[in-house]
């Protein structure tokens, strides 16, 4: 009986591992734990610029969502994980962040998050140039606010509130998302 339980547990682990998504050399597990809460991989995809593969992205939520509104309405922690597929300079990364935020935020929203956005840009400048294989997490929780980490090391914590994080999410999920194919992959 004990052997049967162990075999069933190992079979379950194998099934879970198969549910993960692999994009190039970046692996997105089907679930992660953030602040003692289990988050599920909502979707993952590839960001291309022209024909260059820039990064992969995975969206983790408290529960699966099939629309942008459903993603934005969730109160559970949220993570967008980027896996770099090419080297990107700090200035290029910050410029893309600013462009994505400005393209998908109204002037009123931009004004509301202006000081938080400056703090986020400072954090991104601290990260500096990113290299192939680097993992950048953009996290949000009610207890810690917007946080950014690089390769598991916290770079900026409590940068801003939900309004800032929603603006960051709109980079990938907004009406003028940075990459429509990636948007469809994150919210299948």
In whole angstroms, how large is the CA radius of gyration of the chain? 17
Please state the length of the chain: 188
Token duo for residue 170: 């709109």
Q: At 188, is the secondary structure helix, strand, or coil?
A: coil
Q: What percent of the chain has pLDDT over 70?
A: 90
- Residue 17: predicted pLDDT: 37
pTM for this entry: 0.87
Pick from 5-14, 71-80, 161-170: least confident: 5-14
Task: Quote the CA–CA distance of 85 and 89 in Å, as a whole number.
Answer: 13
**Is the CB of residue 156 less than 8 Å from the CB of residue 144?**
no
Cα separation, 79 vs 107, in Å, equals: 25
- What mean pLDDT do residues 38-45 have? 97
pLDDT band at 18 (very low <50, low <70, confident <90, very high): very low
Structural domains in the chain plus CATH codes: 23-186 (3.50.70.10)
- pLDDT at site 63: 95
pLDDT at 7 over 80: no
The four Cα atoms 144, 139, 147, 178 give a dihedral, to 10 degrees, of -140
pLDDT score at 50: 86
In the prediction, which pLDDT does 76 show? 86
Q: What is the pLDDT of residue 9?
A: 40
Average pLDDT score over the chain: 90
- DSSP labels for 143-158? TTEEEEEETTEEEESS
């Amino acid at each position: 009986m004990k052997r049967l339980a162990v075999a069933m547990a190992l079979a379950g682990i194998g099934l879970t591992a198969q549910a993960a998504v692999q994009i190039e050399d970046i692996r997105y597990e089907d679930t992660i734990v953030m602040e003692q809460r289990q988050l599920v991989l909502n979707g993952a995809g590839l960001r291309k610029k022209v024909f260059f593969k820039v990064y992969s992205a995975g969206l983790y939520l408290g529960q699966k969502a099939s629309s942008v509104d459903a993603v934005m309405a969730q109160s559970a922690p949220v993570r967008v994980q980027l896996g770099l597929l090419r080297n990107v300079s700090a200035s290029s990364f910050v410029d893309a962040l600013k462009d994505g935020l400005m393209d998908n935020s109204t002037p009123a929203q931009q004004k509301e998050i202006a000081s938080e956005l400056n703090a986020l840009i400072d954090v991104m400048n601290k990260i500096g140039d990113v290299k192939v294989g680097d993992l950048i997490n953009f996290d949000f929780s009610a207890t810690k606010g917007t946080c950014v980490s690089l390769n598991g090391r916290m770079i900026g914590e409590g940068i801003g509130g939900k309004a800032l994080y929603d603006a960051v999410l709109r980079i990938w999920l907004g009406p003028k998302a940075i990459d429509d194919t990636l948007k469809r992959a994150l919210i299948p």
